[in-house]
A = this chain, B = another copy of it.
Amino acid sequence: MVTSVQPVQPIEFLRKLRSIRRFTDEPPPRGAVDDILAVARWTGSAKNRQHWAFVLVRDREILARMAAAEGSAKHLAGASLGILLVMDGSDLVEQETFDEGRLAERIALVANAHGLESCIGWFKGSGRDDVKALLGIPPEKLVRTVMSIGYEDTGADGARNHPEHPRKPLADLVHVGRW
């Protein structure tokens, strides 16, 4: 595992994670991809089921075709790397979906530790089958989430392309002792 990334203040590191949808053409270095996969592999799951596999996609033509599939993954067309999360598709849909969220969050974080940005894409309806057919994935698998990875393209004027979205105040979210 490559550990040449800089130490971080963990609260800020977690707090500041954002979704970024526009990327430069520069590919992630090998060491970053190795770390992403290492951290993804060690993601916790209910009963340690590890109900996932990953397809790394770098071919721009394939990325563009995936981006056009039904769902919300248009940003994939501009990513230098796509990581498709392939879930086992077991009867434990609820737990698989929850664990898939844990996995996606960790991939976003480890990429960010390497100065990379990411966005979660989501296939719906026929988009799921189309992506499976495109990449030769067995039909029983569940294909839903893809992560776009790359360095942020801040545009010619350097303005951030995707500003921080506001959040609800804690007073609306937190209940102490009971609801």
CB atoms of A105 and B97 under 8 A apart: no
Q: Mark A46-69, 1 if CB is under 8 A from B, else 0.
A: 101010111111110010000000
CB atoms of B42 and A167 under 8 A apart: yes
Give chain B residues whose Cβ lies under 8 Å from the Cβ of A56. Answer: 174-177
CB atoms of B15 and A11 under 8 A apart: no
Q: For the complex formed by this chain, how many copies does it contain in all?
A: 2
Q: Mark A73-111, 1 if CB is under 8 A from B, else 0.
A: 000000000000010000000110111111111101110
Give chain B residues whose Cβ lies under 8 Å from the Cβ of A5. Answer: 9-11
Residue from B11, B13, B138 in contact with A10 in the complex, judged by beta carbons closer than 8 Å: B13
- A144–B97 alpha-carbon span in the complex (Å): 13
Within the complex, what minimum Cβ distance (angstroms) separates A178 from chain B? 5
* A interface list, Cβ under 8 A from B: 1-3, 5, 7-15, 17-19, 35, 37-44, 46, 48, 50, 52-59, 62, 86, 94-95, 97-106, 108-110, 113, 120, 122, 135-138, 144-145, 165, 167-168, 170, 172-179
